[in-house]
Amino acid sequence: GAVVSQHPSWVICKSGTSVKIECRSLDFQATTMFWYRQFPKQSLMLMATSNEGSKATYEQGVEKDKFLINHASLTLSTLTVTSAHPEDSSFYICSAIMGQGFEKLFFGSGTQLSVL
Amino acid sequence: QKEVEQDPGPLSVPEGAIVSLNCTYSNSAFQYFMWYRQYSRKGPELLMYTYSSGNKEDGRFTAQVDKSSKYISLFIRDSQPSDSATYLCAMSGQGAQKLVFGQGTRLTINP
């Protein structure tokens, strides 16, 4: 299957700092990328959907000013957690889709964020 | 009430056993039902997806959907240690754009 690379795989930061997570589709152009968050013992929750060159669409309850998403190209989307606090500590995972269909949706390996 | 409920386990069975994994859901608008497998420190990989009710078989894996009961299942026959992973159910009413996931069930197959 296609490869979606997510970096870094884990990050520890101090409260108040910003953290950037990258999501790249390595061997295909992604029409849309998605960002999910997973707290311990909870399900993956969709945070936002981003299309190249346009503003991201955020799910209800997700602060767009705190979770900045930039989708600069068909192969790269970034999620920046601004002024991170301990309650932002979570597992963040991206996915990318080429075209339509569930078999064309591929996930990154995720980023574990720990905010001290 | 969560839209999708999945027993997180952990579930541990001997090699060769038949494994049954299940999810229930509350949103009757869901039309697409997926099962993903996730190995440690990897992203979820699509195993199977089904549209509406019915069964679908792929090798040792069988997916069942009962929309009248809002209940879906994944059966694994002749389970192997390599099947040890977390299995996630996911559902959607409108394609891959809006997936709603269960918590995932951690499965261990013991040699």
Per-residue pLDDT band at B22 (split at 50, 70, 90): very high
Structure tokens at A81: 């957690």
The structure tokens 């027993």 sit at: B7
For residue B97, pLDDT over 80 is answered with: no
Per-residue pLDDT band at A1 (split at 50, 70, 90): low
Taking CA atoms, what residue in B is nearest to A3? Answer: B43
Residue range A39-64, pLDDT digits in tens: 888 889 999 999 888 889 999 999 99
Strands (E), B52-94: 54-58, 61-66, 71-76, 85-92
Average pLDDT across chain A, whole number = 92
- Terminal CA-CA length for chain B: 38
Task: Pick the residue of B40, B97, B98, B106 with the most A CBs within 10 A to test the interface with A by mutation.
Answer: B97
Structure tokens at B58: 């792929």
Please check whether residue B41 touches A, CB under 8 A: yes
Burial zone of A37 (CB within 10 Å; 0-12 exposed, 13-18 middle, 19+ buried): buried
Chain A contacts of B5, Cβ < 8 Å? Answer: none
Average pLDDT across chain B, whole number = 93
> Cα separation of B31 and A86, whole Å?
37
Overall average pLDDT of the A88-110 stretch: 90
Residue range A4-36, pLDDT digits in tens: 999 999 999 999 999 999 999 998 898 899 999
> Cα separation of A55 and A77, whole Å?
11
For residue B42, pLDDT over 90 is answered with: no
